[in-house]
């Protein structure tokens, strides 16, 4: 039975898929959306974070069956009309990334945070991003970039 998956506003009809397939691999290996990263496959590192109806979700443990029919947004879908979001811009301005591999997941988690809490404290940021590992250790700059982006948003 075909599965209907909506990613970044585009509707995909997927045939012949095991409904247990994690969304991550559908995105990466079938839809060519490689911005969502594989880090652990156990929902423990956050590199695969996407938005599921606006909430940050680990796509590596999200079965396709659960994602079907829902509104999925990936890192590729954040910047509308090739304009960076305030968070993406802050990530560039603060020069957050080192290797950069985790940063898509960091930005997805931070975007979900700001949508709920436009003036987060350091503790709020630490709480919302504690599930996103950065092996290079850019945490200080991540905090700074979230604050910088928040300062551009209406409170």
Partner 1 sequence: MHPDLSVLDPVSFPPAVSAARPGDAPALDRRSFLRLAALAGGGFALALYLRGPDAAAAEPAVSGGAEPGGDFTPSLFVRITPAGEITVLAANPECGQGVKTAFPMLIVEELDAPWARVKIEQADLDPRLGRQAAAGSRGTPTHYQPYRRLGATARALLVSAAAARWGVPTDELQTPGDARVVHAPTGRAATYGELATAAAALPVPDEKTVPLKDPSAFRLLGRRVGGVDNPRIVVGAPLFGLDVRRPGQLFATFVKCPVFGGVVRSADLAAARAAPGVRAVFEVKAPGVASGVAIVADSTWRAFQARDVLKIEWDEGRATGDSDAAFAAAAARLHDAPPAGDPLRGAGDFAAAHAAAAVRVEARYEYPFLSHANLEPQNCTALHRPDGVELWAPTQSPSGARDAAAKALGVAPESVVVHMTRIGGGFGRRLTNDFAAEAAAIAREVSGTPVQLVWTRADDMQHDWYRPGGFHAFRGGVDADGRVVAWGEHFVTYAAGYDTDKVAGVAGLAAAEFPGRLVPNVLIHQSPLPNGIPLGPWRAPRTSAQCFAQQCFLDELAHAAGRDPVEFRLALLAAPAAPAPAGERGPVFDNARMAGVVRLAAEKSGWGAPGETPWPRGRGRGIAFQFSHLGYVAIVAEVTVSKTGDLVIDRVVVAADVGRQIINPSGGENQSEGSVVDGISSALVQRITIEGGRVAQSGFADMPLLRIDQAPKRIETHFLLTDNPPTGLGEPVIPPVPPALGNAIFAATGRRVRRLPFNAADLSWS
Q: Which residues contact partner 1 by CB under 8 A?
A: 18, 21-22, 25, 28-30, 32-42, 44-45, 47, 74-76, 78-79, 84, 88, 91-93, 95-104, 107, 122, 125-127, 129-143
Choice between 68 and 97, CB closer to partner 1: 97
Closest contact distance (angstroms) between CB of 66 and partner 1 is 15
Closest contact distance (angstroms) between CB of 70 and partner 1 is 19
SS (H, E, C) 9-29: CEEEEECCCCCCCEHHHHHHH
52's torsion region: left (phi>0), alpha (psi -120 to 50) or beta? beta
Closest contact distance (angstroms) between CB of 59 and partner 1 is 12
């Amino acid at each position: 039975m075909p599965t209907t998956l909506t990613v970044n506003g585009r509707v995909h009809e997927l045939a012949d898929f095991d409904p247990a397939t994690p969304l991550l691999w559908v995105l990466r290996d079938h839809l060519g959306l490689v911005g969502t990263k594989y880090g652990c496959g156990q929902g423990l590192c956050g590199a695969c974070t996407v938005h599921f109806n606006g909430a940050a979700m680990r796509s590596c443990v999200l079965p396709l069956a659960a994602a079907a029919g829902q509104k999925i947004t990936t890192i590729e879908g954040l910047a509308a009309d090739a304009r960076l979001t305030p968070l993406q811009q802050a990530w560039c301005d603060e020069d957050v990334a080192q290797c950069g591999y985790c940063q898509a997941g960091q930005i997805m988690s931070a975007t979900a945070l700001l949508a709920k809490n436009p003036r987060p404290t350091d503790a709020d940021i630490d709480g919302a991003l504690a599930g996103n590992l950065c092996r290079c250790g850019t945490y200080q700059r991540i905090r700074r970039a979230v604050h910088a982006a928040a300062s551009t948003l209406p409170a």
